[in-house]
A and B are shown apart, each in its own frame.
Chain A
Amino acid sequence: MAVVNTEALLGIFETPEQVAGALDRLRADGFLATDMTVLTDAPYPEGAFGEASERHRLYVWPFVGAACGLAVGLLLTIGTQISYPLVTGGKPILAIPPMINVLYEGTLLGALIMTVIGIIFESRLPDLSAAPYDPRISQGYFGVLVFRLAGRADMAQRALRRAGAIDVVGTLPSG
């Protein structure tokens, strides 16, 4: 069941070549690269649809997480030992080699958690927008989603139809 929305349009296509053609037409009509995106049911090689390269900062997240994890590990290992400084087995209160085990795991746990948070954040999830979507996308069809129509809905719809869209979802009731 398609979602009806007047702020964005979703064109449904059958082939990647049609999608690339639709993006070309939209660009020619003055739409910016940030005003449109392609929806697919699987990853396609970057640039397959002639779309703009996506910038992200995912690589920063693991480092931030690792630093946080290391800090928590240090707090745990140092804090718990100096809170009740009891010498056992003749080892120093802050014995570095055994602490490394906990610090190592803490660092990697922090990196893993922050990476997954980063994936979700950078993917702009959770997506609570009412932008049009069609379940046919996950059945192998392609979608071209056009945002920020601002009175250009008819122009976008025409471009999508001319590029071979089998359906356009989210059109105004007046057409």
Chain B
Amino acid sequence: MQERAALSPAQINGDLLHFALKTPRQFWIALGVLGAIVLAGVVSEGFIVVLGLQLLGLTNTVYWSVFIANFVFWVGISHAGVMISAILRLVYAEWRRPITRCAEVLTIFALATAGLFPLIHTGRVWRTIYWVFPYDFTRNVWPDVRSALIWDPSAIVTYLIGTILFVYSDLLPDLANARDRSAGFRRRVYAVLSLGFRGTVRQWRLQTIAGILLASLILPVFVSVHSIVSWDFSMAILPGWHSTIFAPYFVIGAIHSGVAGVVTVMVLVRRFLRLEDYIRPEHFDAVGRLQVVVAASWLFFFLMDFYFGIFSREAAEIEVWNLRLFTPPYSALLLVMIITGYLIPVPLWLFRRCRRSVRIMFWTSLAVNVALWIERYMLVITPLSYKEPFTFTWVTAYKPQPVEYIITAAAVALVLLGLLVFAKLFPIVPVWAVKEGQVLRREVRIGRVTVPAVAREKKY
């Protein structure tokens, strides 16, 4: 079946630059709603700064709260963005074209949001300056590079800068295109940002190579980041955290939630920017197939974590799993996690009809992210909550407080707000890549059928 419609360059420009160059009323409504939620989060953070961490539900053992779970969750979401984009570029997957930039931009805003949580978590945010500069300037006492808490920011800063550069270099031709289609102040801004890109043969040649080169460089960063985030936990000698499986387990969990996050953004972009001709059921079908594999791998690592936990027969480890499996509210959360992360979505994704249903893909992708948020919450909170032998450390269950709920919701709004503002300023679907797809598009007659094909320059 021929799904790829033949689109003229003028039509592609009109469709993909429309939202960036014209402002519909819905944009201001969405901006207002998301902005209000973000503002509520900012006010809550203000209360924490002024009144202190007493506003959180921290106990004497649960000193890493839902904010750290949010940090891990958003780092995870950020992961699949660039992973999808980079891997699909490297394997020349033709269906990558409309979705790469959504994925990359999701990475930027999710990672930036994740980066806020360790700062919020400290309460006194100004003291986080000691992560970078000496604790004691006169004696030159620098942060200890032997600590996982130093590896973590180095990895996240690398990933964030790398992703921003990746997006910018890919955006240059589209900025030039927007420059050609705009006027006044907007045109001057696009002209400066596009650096005078004209679309010479040399510029396109380098643009094509750059996509491959940057993808190759950013993939090792992608793998390292969530591994290092996992070491924030596994380097601690704490039952439930001190596990050798954490690095791959975190990476595969990040891919599971990240791919689902990309699907959610694809649906939103398709629906609100009316890009049905560009983000088509075949794209959801392809991502759905990928999700089946990723979900199965994630379940495998979850079971391995459980198996490693109980196999050692250490009382403390078994106690943590006892807490997760049989003690409310964690047992109920675990059940929800398995159901929404695997048992509901995977059987649906096995059917082509479901994978091609935008509605089913949207709801299952949301369900996966509910599951993965719960997973992060369980990973952070339960090892800190288990009852140690000394009774004075026995505590009641950690309960998130209103400010924690508000800031968690504000983080979701902040990521969506970032995506919305980006889509308003720049094309969220790469115009030049879609046009390249049209240049290379062919129809091949085989026997009595005509099948869609793609010409490929096998050079790099």
Contacts and interface: CB of A to CB of B under 8 A. Distances in A.
Given A54-B205, A58-B209, A88-B144, 19 more contacts: A41-B177, A41-B199, A42-B435, A42-B438, A43-B207, A43-B439, A44-B201, A56-B202, A98-B146, A102-B145, A102-B151, A106-B154, A108-B217, A116-B214, A119-B206, A125-B203, A133-B198, A138-B176, A140-B9
A43 B150 contact: no
A-B interface, 5 closest residue pairs, ranked by CB to CB distance from nearest = A140-B9, A127-B196, A80-B142, A135-B180, A42-B435
A41 B174 CA distance: 9
23 contacts: A39-B198, A40-B199, A41-B9, A42-B204, A44-B439, A54-B201, A56-B202, A62-B217, A80-B143, A84-B141, A88-B144, A98-B146, A101-B155, A102-B154, A104-B220, A109-B221, A112-B165, A113-B165, A120-B195, A125-B196, A126-B195, A133-B198, A140-B435
A151 interface: no
B224 A104 contact: yes
Contact of B206 (A88, A123, A137, A138): A123
A122 interface: yes
Contact of A116 (B144, B165, B436): B165
In the complex, which of the residues A42, A108, A111 has the most CB atoms of chain B within 10 Å of its own CB atom? A42
B145 A41 contact: no
Interface string B176-218: 1100110000000000000111111111111111100110011
B195 A127 contact: yes
A88 B143 CA distance: 12
B145 A138 contact: no
Contacts of B448: none
B212 to A, nearest CB: 10
Contacts, number: 187
Contacts of A7: none
Nearest to B220: A108
Interface stretch (A24-32, A45-53, A159-167): A45-53
A45 B9 CA distance: 17
Given A89-B146, A98-B146, A101-B154, A112 B13 contact: no
Contact of B161 (A46, A77, A112, A126): A112
Contact of B204 (A44, A116, A127): A44
A140 B206 contact: no
A171 interface: no
A115 interface: yes
B140 interface: yes
A112 B202 CA distance: 21
Given A40-B199, A41-B9, A112-B162, A98 B169 contact: no
Interface of A: 37-46, 49, 51, 54, 56, 58-59, 62, 76-77, 80-81, 83-84, 86, 88-89, 91, 95, 98-99, 101-102, 104-106, 108-109, 111-113, 115-116, 119-120, 122-129, 131, 133, 135, 137-140, 145
B436 A112 contact: no
A122 B206 contact: yes
A99 B13 contact: no
Contacts of A122: 202, 206
Contacts of B207: 43, 119, 123
A90 to B, nearest CB: 11
B141 A138 contact: no
Interface residues of B, number: 63
A83 B205 contact: no
A39 B161 CA distance: 31
Contacts of A125: 172, 195-197, 203
A109 B459 CA distance: 27
B151 A98 contact: yes
Contact of B205 (A56, A102, A108, A135): A56
A107 B315 CA distance: 42
Contacts of B459: 46
A138 B214 contact: no
A142 to B, nearest CB: 10
Contact of A119 (B144, B154, B200, B210): B210
In the complex, which of the residues A46, A81, A113, A116 has the most CB atoms of chain B within 10 Å of its own CB atom? A116
Contacts of B161: 109, 112-113
Contacts of B150: 102
B181 A112 contact: no
B432 interface: yes
Contacts of B203: 123-125
A40 to B, nearest CB: 5
Interface string B419-442: 000000000000010011011000
A119 B169 contact: yes
B446 interface: no
Contacts of B166: 112, 116
Nearest to A142: B199
B10 A139 contact: yes
Contacts of B436: 42-43
Interface string B272-299: 0000000000000000000000000000
Contact of A126 (B169, B196, B206, B432): B196
A58 B210 contact: yes
Contacts of A102: 145, 150-151, 154
